[in-house]
Chains A and B, each alone.
Chain A
Amino acid sequence: MNGFRRREVARRAFAYEINRSTYRFPREDEKSPAYVLTPLGVRVNRVFIVGALLDKEEIKPDSGIWRIRVSDPTSAIYGYVSRFQPDALESLMEIDVPELVAIVGKVRTFEVGARIFVSLRPEYVSPVESGVRDYWVYETAKHTIERIKAMERKEDEDVKLAWQIYNPNLDEYRAIVKQALLTLKGTIAEGEEEEEEIQGFEEEFEFEEEEWDLSDILKE
């Protein structure tokens, strides 16, 4: 638009979908946002997530880089906060875990060996009330259902690409959405199989950060 960049919309997606996003779009130029493609065919850069902040720890003493783990009803996602995100760092320091938080942040990917991992780079972290979480789950479920429908239609270019790259099982995503919605009703969600898979994913995710250069995820 005449070289004028609009503010990026913050997409709504459950951590389950974001964690499985491994495809990075090549950047158009230095300043253009780095998008990843989710398995349900949406380009994501900025996201808005509401969930429980479960952990925060400095990856090395006095490094000023904090690793956080946030979980929504579907899955947990990791994030990194450093002095490059002063607003997020400031509020993070005042929060005692566990705490319900809203996070606006960018999705970043990094490679470990052959695997690509996803993390969040928060712009801010703000403690919120449970009503905000409830609305977020509802809204995110609504958006995810729309994406599932778009995947069924197979019209959009990004959707076609998502089929090609991920070939997702849409029923799996329907189950995830349902599980999330049921938590709102106070009903115990069935889905032990899912639970196992998430566990497995987290274990693999335990790693020593020092081995990689994190500057990519942390800087603009």
Chain B
Amino acid sequence: MERVEELADQILSQFAGLGYEINRDEVIKRLKLLLYEFKVPESEAVRTVRNWIIKEYGIPREKVVEAPLVKIKDITKPGQWVSLKAKVVQIWDSTSPSVSQVGLIGDETGIIKFVIWAKSGKGEVEEGKCYLFKNVVTDSFQGRMQINVGRTSEIVEIDEDIQLPPREIEVIGALVAIQQNSGLIQRCEQCHRVMTKGICPIHGKVKGYDDLRVKGVLDDGENVYEIILNEGNIKDLTGIDLEKAKQIASERLDRNAVLSELKRILLGRYFKVAGVRGGRYLLVRRVEKILGVKADEVDKLLEVLA
């Protein structure tokens, strides 16, 4: 009997916080029926009673649905309502107008893909900032978990610095591919998305600004990692910064000349990349070029053969 009252008080306190006064006896009666009569599990009983209250008192759904706060590593099943605090690690180019933003968020336990649907009408997030993602739905896409931000979700910026997984990995691999949308690119001034031929996938024909990046594939013979090198990385590796890139483009009257030049310098070379693994992405923290092999490393292999 005590347990039922406890559960009832939990439910009541939740609604009291929202300014609703619920009939306690009614709640207890319903809980008892579900638990003792119908032998429903506790969580189901609570959920049913909460749903009944919401309907009965006409409470707007988004006001009450408070999904539990979880860590990213605990997201293993699709179709769960959760809330999480996370840092935006990377924003990708949205390939579909129905997607407002897509990218990766992370907390100390892991990294996961997020999708903010355009029709959710939620504000946009910024790379490097931390947010509370409230009432988002877990989903599975192409065999991987992700979270979807929909109409009833909420994104609140928080004043916390969330640490990403400490386990940084180091990969030495060859850069075996550079994607076409690399080099001297244009981003939309409003949403920072990469524009194609002066057109932003969301805002259409708008003013853009120049940026330099390389989207490529690092391959160590066992795994492939998609990496994104930003202007700083590119400058360190090739000596080409944004200014130099613009100069190359104007000299050759072709923006693509920058991509050709970067391909010429980078493709087929080995790099050591340190970063955090998120799905098939390796989030680059440091990158350096491998210039050769040390004699003692060769000796070690020869010993194995001896």
Contacts and interface: CB of A to CB of B under 8 A. Distances in A.
A129 B290 CA distance: 11
Given A102-B174, A104-B176, A138-B301, A50 B290 contact: no
B299 to A, nearest CB: 8
A135 interface: yes
Interface in A1-59: 1-2, 4, 6-12, 48, 50
A2 B142 contact: yes
A102 B224 contact: no
A60 interface: no
Main secondary structure of the interface of B (DSSP, over half): mixed
Kindly name the residue among B268, B291, B293 whose own CB sees the greatest number of chain A CB atoms within 10 A: B268
A108 B143 CA distance: 30
B254 to A, nearest CB: 14
A2 B141 CA distance: 9
B221 A181 contact: no
Interface string B211-242: 00000010101111000000000000000000
B280 interface: yes
B305 A174 contact: yes
B268 A132 contact: yes
Interface residues on B, range: 20 to 34
B280 A48 contact: no
Contacts of A182: 302
Nearest to A186: B295
B143 A134 contact: no
A184 to B, nearest CB: 5
A138 B224 CA distance: 19
Contacts of B291: 129, 131
A135 B305 CA distance: 18
B1 interface: no
Kindly name the residue among B176, B177, B223, B290 whose own CB sees the greatest number of chain A CB atoms within 10 A: B176
B264 interface: yes
B292 interface: yes
B293 A184 contact: yes
A80 B100 CA distance: 44
A86 to B, nearest CB: 12
A8 B176 CA distance: 11
Given A2-B143, A10-B174, A126-B264, A48 B305 contact: no
Interface string A148-178: 0000000000000000000000000010011
A141 B304 CA distance: 11
A134 B293 contact: yes
Contacts of A141: 301
Interface of A: 1-2, 4, 6-12, 48, 50, 101-104, 123-124, 126, 128-132, 134-139, 141-143, 145, 174, 177-178, 181-182, 184-185
10 contacts: A12-B221, A48-B219, A102-B268, A126-B264, A129-B291, A131-B291, A131-B293, A135-B290, A139-B221, A185-B295
